[in-house]
Amino acid sequence: MIKFDKVNFEYQAKTPFASQALFDIDVEIADGSYTALIGHTGSGKSTLLQHLNGLLQPTAGAVTVGDIVITSESRQKNIKPVRKRVGVVFQFPETQLFDETVLKDVAFGPQNFGAAKEAAEKIAREKLLQVGIAEELFERPPFELSGGQMRRVAIAGILAMEPQVLVLDEPTAGLDPKARLEMMQLFRDLHDEQGLTVILVTHNMDDVANYADFVYLLEKGRIIDFGTPSQIFQKPDFLAEHQLGLPKATEFALKLQARGRFTFERLPITRLELVEAIRQSSNLPKHFSQLKLSDENTLEAGLLGERGTKETN
C-alpha cells in the first residue's frame, strides 16, 4: 500500500524562490492496482511521482510506501530501500542511458544494489527479451539504437531491479502508434500477469479508460477529483472546465446523444462498452444491426446518419 497523507511540497523551500507545487495531497494506492494520474501541464504530476521513490521528500506531510515512511525529516539512507521497491520510468528515460553496451546498462541497477555481475547480467538478459530487445542488440552501444528501442532498454533497466511498483511518466510520448500499443500492452501484462502495481501519468484518456482501474485528477498541485475511470468520465462538463479530454468512445457517445439518436444510461468509456450499449439499445433502427461494428468509419457514419448512409427509421 502506498499512502500520501497531507503531502505538501515546495521547490526551493526556505529560500526567497520557494514555490509550492503540491498542496495537501491525499492519495491511496492499493497493491496490485493500476492507477492513472491525469492533469494539465504543470499541475504537479511529475513532482508527485518523485515522492514515490524518495527522490523528493515532502516539505510537510508523509508518504508511506509499505513499511517505509518518508517525511521532511527522513534521512536518505533510510529511504534507499524504497528505490528498489518502486521503479520510476521518467519522461524520455532514454536520455539516462549511459553504459558502453545495452547489456551493461541494464545490469548496472541490480549490481548497484549488490547483485554479482553474473546474476545481474542474467536478469538483464531476461528483462531485455521481455521488453522486446533482441539478443543481437545486447552488445551494441545504447546510443546506436532507435529511439523506441532506447526507451525499451531504459524500461528493462528499471524492470531489472525487480520493483513491486512501476511508475510511468508519459511512457509512450513520441512513439508511433504500433510502438505505443506494444508498450501499453507490456505494462498491462506486467500488471495482470506479474502483479506489479502500476502508476501511470498520461494525457491519453483512452489509455486511462482501457488500462487503469483508478484515477486521480490533479490541478495546480491539488487533487480535484478521483474515482474509477467510469466514474470520472461520467462528468464531461467538469472535465471540459478543467481542460481535460475524454476517451474517444465517450466523445462519440456524446455526439450520438446530442443528435438524439441514443440516450446512454451510463456513458461508455471504451469501444467495447460503446458497441455493447448500442447493441442493447431498444430503439436501434433496423439497418444499424447490419452495420459492421468492427469498422470504425462505417459505424460512425451509420450511427450519425452521415455520409450518405440511409436511415430507414
Kindly list the residues in this chain that would bind ligand ATP in the complex (CB under 6 A): 11, 19, 21, 39, 41-47
Report the partner that residue 87 touches, choosing among ligand ATP, Mg ion, none (CB closer than 5 to 8 A by kind). Answer: none
- The sheet carrying 222-227 orders its strands as 86-89, 165-169, 197-201, 34-39, 214-219, 222-227
Report the partner that residue 44 touches, choosing among ligand ATP, Mg ion, none (CB closer than 5 to 8 A by kind). Answer: ligand ATP
Number of chain positions touching Mg ion (CB under 5 A): 2
Please give the Cα distance from 155 to 168 (Å, whole number): 9
Question: Dihedrals φ, ψ of 308, to 5°?
Answer: 80, -5
State in angstroms the smallest separation of the CB of 50 from ligand ATP.
Answer: 8
Nearer Cβ to Mg ion (45/151): 45
Nearer Cβ to ligand ATP (216/233): 216
Q: What is the 3-state secondary structure (H, E, C) of 157-208?
A: HHHCCCCCEEEEECCCCCCCHHHHHHHHHHHHHHHHHHCCEEEEECCCHHHH
From 11-19, 42-50, 147-155, 274-282, span contacting Mg ion (CB under 5 A): 42-50
Nearer Cβ to ligand ATP (11/113): 11
Q: How many CA atoms lie within 13 A of 297 on its CB side?
A: 2
State in angstroms the smallest separation of the CB of 2 from ligand ATP.
Answer: 18
Report the partner that residue 146 touches, choosing among ligand ATP, Mg ion, none (CB closer than 5 to 8 A by kind). Answer: none
Residue ranges in 183-202 that form contacts with Mg ion under rule CB under 5 A? none
From 39-47, 147-155, 232-240, 265-273, span contacting Mg ion (CB under 5 A): 39-47
**In Å, how far are 10, 18, 100, 200, 298 from 301, measured between CA atoms?**
51, 54, 53, 34, 5
By CB under 5 A, tell whether 46 contacts Mg ion.
Answer: yes
From 46-54, 189-197, 265-273, 274-282, span contacting Mg ion (CB under 5 A): 46-54
Report the partner that residue 264 touches, choosing among Mg ion, ligand ATP, none (CB closer than 5 to 8 A by kind). Answer: none
Structural contact between residues 131 and 152, judged by C-beta atoms closer than 8 angstroms: yes
**In Å, how far are 16, 25, 221, 262 from 19, measured between CA atoms?**
9, 16, 11, 48
Report the partner that residue 11 touches, choosing among Mg ion, ligand ATP, none (CB closer than 5 to 8 A by kind). Answer: ligand ATP
Cell digits of residue 254: 456524446
From 45-53, 65-73, 117-125, 255-263, span contacting Mg ion (CB under 5 A): 45-53
Nearer Cβ to ligand ATP (148/221): 221
Report the partner that residue 19 touches, choosing among ligand ATP, Mg ion, none (CB closer than 5 to 8 A by kind). Answer: ligand ATP
Please give the Cα distance from 112 to 99 (Å, whole number): 13
Nearer Cβ to Mg ion (170/251): 170
State in angstroms the smallest separation of the CB of 156 from ligand ATP.
Answer: 23
Q: Where are the alpha helices (DSSP H) in 216-295?
A: 229-232, 236-241, 248-258, 271-280
Give residue 40's Cα distance to chain centre.
Answer: 14
Cell digits of residue 201: 501519468
Please give the Cα distance from 166 to 99 (Å, whole number): 23
By CB under 5 A, tell whether 164 contacts Mg ion.
Answer: no
Nearer Cβ to ligand ATP (47/250): 47
